[in-house]
Each structure stands twice: as C-alpha cells, then as structure tokens.
Amino acid sequence: MSINALEIRELRKTYKGGVNALKGVSLNVKEGDFFALLGPNGAGKSTLIGIITSLVNRSSGEIKVFGDNLFSNPSAAKSHIGLVPQEINFSLFEKVMQIVVNQAGYYGIDRITATKRAEVILKELRLWDKRNETSRKLSGGMKRRLLIARALVHQPKLLILDEPTAGVDIEIRRSTWEYLKKINASGTTIILTTHYLEEAENLCRNIAIIDHGEIIENSSMKALLEKISSETIIADLEKPLKQIPYSSDYLISSIDEHSLEIKVRDSQGINDLFSWFNHHEIAVRSIRNKSNRLEELFMGMIEGKNEQ
Amino acid sequence: MSNSNFNKSATALLTIVRKEVVRFFRIWPQTILPSAITMSLYYVIFGNLIGNRIGRMGDVPYIQYIAPGLVMMAVITNSYSNVVASFFSSKFQRYIDELIISPTPNYIILLGYISGGIARGCTVGFIVVIISIFFTSFKIDSIAITVSVVFLSSLLFSLAGLINGIFARKFDDVSIIPTFVLTPLTYLGGVFYSIALLPPFWEKISQANPIFYMINAFRHGMIGKSDVEIAPAFIIIIVITTVLFISALALLNKGIGVKQ
C-alpha cells in the first residue's frame, strides 16, 4: 500500500510582526510523486518549506514525513528529507568533497561510506574534478549542482527543491531536469518549487498552488491543464503581412509583420486554422505554442484570487 | 537511546568536531599565531624587562608568577573567539542550516561547537606553555588541578562564546564582548598581580570576577599557591559552566538566532 511521503495538517505560521504566512495549510504528497508547489512571491512557499525542513518554527499544525511526526519524532522524520535550498548556503571556504562528506556525517553516516557515496554523486553531477576546490571557486551552475549533491548524499526518500534552476543557463537547467527525472524514477519523492512554470509542467505529476498562505488548487497536473479552454499559437510567416485579415472565429494579433499570435479554442480544430491561412493566401513557415499553458492558468488563478 | 541512534549521534559529533578543528588549523595565522606572538611579547616585556625590576611576587619570581595567568588568558580568549566566530560565520553564510535540517540533536550541535572551542583553547594554551619554557622554569604542582581547570575554563568560555554567537546579528556583535568585557576581566583577574596588593575595596570587587578564580585556580595547580582556596574556585567554575550549558541548550532548542 502506498503511503504519503508528506502529510501536512492545518499548518499555521504567524510571524512576530503579525504576518499570517500560512493560514491552515493541509496537503498530502504521495510516495514516489513529483510534486510542484507553486505560488507568487510572498505566497507562503518558503515558509511552508522552511517548516517542513525545520528552518522555521510553526505556530500550530502537524507534519508527518513517511509516517514519522516531525515534531514528536524529529530525528526519524528529518532523516527522510533532503533539501536543495534557493540560496547558496554552504561554507565558501570548505572544499567540495568536505561539504558533501560532512553533510553525510550529520546524518550519522560513517566517513568511509560517505566518501564512497560522495564520489558517485559528484561524478554523476560532473563535479568530481572539482572535489578538492573550495566551493567559492565554483561557477554558479556548479554551486547549484553542489547543493543537489549535498542534499542527496544521505539518500533521502523525500527531496525538496526550492527554485533549483534559478539563474542557471538552459543547458544546465535541462541536464538538472534529466537528473531529477532519474532520481524520481528510482523512487525518490520530489517536491519542487519553481518560477519556471515550464519546469513544473514538464516534470511534475501533481501540483498545489499556494497564495496568501492558503492552498487554492491541489490536483494532478493533467486535470489542471484540462481546465484550459484555449491555446495560444504563434505562426511564423513566409512573407511580411501588412494587414491582418478579419476573422470571426479566431482572436488574432500581430507580434511583428512576420509573426501572428492566434488564440484557438479547444472546440476548434487546427485544420480549420490552416484552411483560414490558405483562404487568405498566407504562407506559414512554422507554428508553435506560446510559452506554456500552465503559466496562463496560473496567472488566471492568482489574478482571479486577488480580485475576490 | 538505541545503539543505532547512539552511533549516529557519535558520528555527527565527530563530524562537527573534525570540521571545527580543521577550520582553526586551516586559518592558523589568524587563530594560533597571534596568541603565540602576543604571549612571547608579554614574557619578554613583563617577564624579563620589567619583571626583573619587580623581583618576586609572594615567594616566586615575577615571571613564574605571571606564566599561569598568561596561559589562562590564551585559553580563555581562544576558546571564546573560536566558538563565537565559527558559529556566527555559520549563521552569516547560512550553512548552519546543514545541521538544523539534519537529525543531529541540538545537544550534539552544542557539544560539537564547544569541543572545537576547547580544542583551540587547549592547543593555544599548550603552545604558550612551550613558549614559557624558554623564559622560565615551568613546574606543575598538581597535574590534576592544572588540567581540570584548563578544561573547565575552556568549556565555560566556549559556552559563553556560543551564546554570544547565537545572539550576534552582525560582525560588531562578535567583537564587543571580547573587547569590552573579556579582556578587562582577564587583566583585572590577577594575571599580572596578586589581589592582596589591592586596597580592601578593590580586593572585594576583584573577587566578583569569575576569571579571577580560574586564573588563580590554575596558578594553584602550577605553583601550589594562589589568592584563592581551590575548592570554592572549582565550585564557582562548575556552577557557571552548568548555568551556561543549560542556557545555551535552551536557546538552541528554541531556535533563537537560527530559526525564524
């Protein structure tokens, strides 16, 4: 029987200044899931992750990690969790190998085992050549990978990633995605917060959206995306278009004279759109989806909540 | 505690201690060398140049009288500085989070940091003892008293350094206590003189200074006599150490200074 990797019940946090960061959050994350936790800045994501990882004190509520209560049995619950934080937070004067091996030591893993594990992880994350460098000499992308290596050395069952690809180039982002998919496939439950909604859409199976300290959506990614009733398509044109022909079926706007943005409802077929292009003798070189669908939905939800 | 949990805690403790010891040896020009140079100068200036004119303090040569005080001064300042600097750095760069998110119990974190402080205090104290051999004959009257006073004083000031580190919010907060409290109390604690030389009022005031008991208990261990009775001195040191230990652990348990 599958158990919950994470169970949160009525979690509340009020900071000293009186700010209600969490207003009774309840959430379940299933074992083996790849779970997205999204929300705008100041929504309560960092507070929620902070409490799960013991970096922030709760005001009230309960958390269980693989059935172990975080507050009554912290040692057991904490041993399941690995955290990749948003900010670089290792000692800048320690060597890469020391950082990873020491982290294993804090989880009670002996030095010989820790060194072997560190070698495997550092090789996988392409940091082995840098193992004897002090961490301050690493590039930004390498520092991000070191955060992942450090979080994985004790082989956590639940890996929490807080903006893991913030500020890294596309190549590193893509390779990080592949690595996370591999870890998840091997059985590690992953919770991901990110501002790159494309990242959440590509990686995660389930999603929760938090805003103003409350969960406003919690469902599967598929179910959420099915709520979208239209898609926006970008068409790149062979020749410049001086004036957009009128259409009663599509909402069309010009990005520049070589590309159009067209809103297509779910009920409309893509063949009909091509018929419309042919009818108006518009030669199309290529078409693509505009950004990602989750972003549109996310913005709609947040804006809708704020208007209430 | 089960065997497994005990082993895990022992591994975590060993990891913190190793990290702390590696840290202060890595930056030895900042952590070990200054005390060695300063204490050598004290021996040259106060011990030899001025000390020869002073003659004897009680019935021992002046340089032999100040040697225990100089060793204790090095132990106290280094134990304190090591923990306050290391703990504050871990807060400042946020790598204290590595420990907080881990299953390492708070008492292990506490023991790890103060062990680092004791290691540095005793290392520097030992170096000062070696230096003093070049300037004076170094005899130990009671090895048990000498070693236990060094250990307890180092423990006490490591705990005090940790509490300072917990409350410190900026680098200034790390240096305020050593500069304005620790150094004056050490100088006034009888490193260079016997409080019997003071007027009665100032003699009484000096007895309220806890460092006075440590320096004199250590002096008692080395030369067999000092301004204090050894038993009350031990009681005072142990009581203060216990209070600081309980306070430091309570602060860590509440997450003061490290959790939001």
- Which residues of chain B lie closer than 8 angstroms to A15, CB-CB? 260
Beta bridge partners of A231: A264
CB-based contact (8 Å) between A218 and chain B? no
CB atoms within 10 A of CB B64: 21
How far is B187 from A271, CA to CA, in rounded Å?
Answer: 91
Quote the DSSP letter at residue A41.
Answer: T
Considering only CB atoms, B93 lies closest to which of A83, A89, A110, namely: A89
Partner residue opposite A55 with nearest CB, options B89, B95, B259: B259
What are the helix (H) ranges across chain A? 45-52, 74-79, 96-106, 111-124, 140-152, 170-185, 197-203, 221-225, 270-279, 293-307
Q: Is residue A29 scored above 90 in pLDDT?
A: yes
What's the gap in Å between the CA of B15 and the closest CA on chain A?
6
Cα separation, A21 vs A227, whole angstroms: 28
Write b or e for each residue in A227-238: b if 16 or more Cβ atoms lie within 10 A of its Cβ, otherwise e: eeeebebebebe
Contact criterion met (CB < 8 Å) for A78 and B12: no
- pLDDT value at residue B110: 97
State how far the Cα of A24 lies from the Cα of A214, in Å rounded to an integer: 7
Residue A272 makes CB contacts below 8 A (sequence gap 6+) with A249
Residue whose entry in the numeric block shows the structure tokens 């518009």? A282
Number of CB atoms found within 10 A of residue B235's CB: 12
Residues in chain B closer than 8 A to A83 (CB atoms): 97, 101
- Compute CA distances A210 → A20, A44, A74, B119, B249, whole Å: 13, 7, 26, 48, 35
Q: Is the pLDDT of residue A232 over 60?
A: yes
Q: According to the model, what pLDDT value does residue A228 have?
A: 65
Quick one: pLDDT at residue A270? 78
- Measured at the CA of B192, the angle between CA B142 and CA B189, to 5 degrees, comes to 80
pLDDT at A266 over 80: no
pLDDT at A306 over 60: no
**Dist. CA A15–CA A21, nearest whole Å:** 7
Q: How confident is the prediction along chain B (260 residues), in pLDDT tens digits per residue?
A: 677 888 899 999 999 999 999 999 999 999 999 999 999 998 888 877 887 778 787 778 888 888 888 999 999 999 999 999 999 999 999 999 999 999 999 999 999 999 999 999 999 999 999 998 888 877 788 999 999 999 999 999 999 999 999 999 988 898 888 889 888 888 888 888 888 888 888 888 888 899 999 998 998 898 888 888 899 999 999 999 999 999 999 999 999 988 87
**Cα B87 to Cα A91: distance, rounded to the nearest angstrom:** 12
* CB-based contact A89 B90, cutoff 8 Å: no
User: Which of A74, A90, A108 is facing B8, going by the closest CB pair?
Assistant: A108
What superfamily would CATH give domain A230-307? Alpha-L RNA-binding motif (3.30.70.1560)
Q: Is the pLDDT score of A299 beyond 60?
A: yes
Residue type (1 letter), A234: I
Query: What is the rounded distance in angstroms from the CA atom of residue B47 to the CA atom of residue A113?
Result: 53
Q: State the pLDDT at residue A305.
A: 60
Helix (H) or strand (E) holding B251: helix B230-254
Name the helix (H) or strand (E) containing B14. Answer: helix B3-26
Instruction: With CA atoms as reference, report the closest residue to B157 among B215, B248, B241.
Output: B241
CATH of region A4-225? 3.40.50.300
Q: B1 to chain A: nearest residue by CA?
A: A75
Please name every residue paired with A288 in a beta bridge, in sequence order, or none if there are none: A234
Q: Where are the domains of chain A?
A: 4-225, 230-307
Nearest to B260 among A56, A91, A94 (CB): A56
Residues of B in contact with A50 (CB under 8 A): 260
Chain A residues 95-114 with CB within 8 Å of chain B? 98, 102-103, 105-111
A10 pLDDT band, cuts 50/70/90, is very high
How close is the nearest chain A Cα to the Cα of B89, in Å? 9
d(CA B217, CA B232): 10
Q: Could you give the CA distance from residue B229 to residue A39 in angstroms, rounded to a whole number?
A: 66
pLDDT digits (tens, 9 = 90+) for B36-73: 999 999 888 887 788 777 878 777 888 888 888 899 99
Residue A229, pLDDT score = 63
Task: Determine which of B90, B98, B107, B254 to mutate to test the interface with A (most A C-beta atoms within 10 Å).
Answer: B98
Cβ-defined contact of A93 to B26 (cutoff 8 Å): yes
Rounded to the nearest angstrom, the minimum Cα separation between B156 and chain A is: 25
Q: Confirm or reject contact between A134 and chain B (CB < 8 A).
A: no
Q: Which residues of B touch A78 (CB under 8 A)?
A: 101-103
Instruction: Find the closest chain B residue to A94 by CA distance.
Output: B23
- Supply the pLDDT for residue B260: 79
Is the ipTM beyond the 0.90 threshold? Answer: no
- Report CA A288 to chain centroid distance, whole Å: 23
How far apart are the CA of B118 and the nearest CA of chain A, in angstroms? 20
Closest partner CB to A78 (pick from B9, B94, B102): B102
CB contact (8 A) between residue A105 and residue B15: yes
Q: State the Cα–Cα distance between residues A67 and A4, nearest whole angstrom.
A: 7
The H or E element that residue B110 is part of is helix B106-133
Q: Does A56 touch chain B (CB under 8 A)?
A: yes
| Cα of A28 to nearest chain B Cα, Å | 21
Is there a contact between B12 and A57 if contact means CB atoms under 8 Å apart? Answer: no
| φ and ψ at residue A77, rounded to 5 degrees | -65, -45
Express each pLDDT in A80-131 by its tens digit.
999 999 889 999 999 999 999 999 999 999 999 999 999 999 999 999 999 9
- A66 reaches B (C-beta below 8 A): no
Do residues B224 and B142 make contact, with C-beta atoms less than 8 angstroms apart?
Answer: yes
pLDDT digits (tens, 9 = 90+) for A134-178: 999 998 889 999 999 999 999 999 999 998 887 777 788 888 889
pLDDT at position A293 is 63
Residue of chain B minimizing CA distance to A57: B260
Torsion of CA B61, B63, B68, B69, to 10 degrees: 120
Number of A to B CB contacts under 8 A, please give it.
Answer: 84
B89, closest residue in chain A (CA to CA): A91
Which of A56, A106, A111, A153 best tests the B interface by mutation, with the highest count of B CBs <10 A?
A106
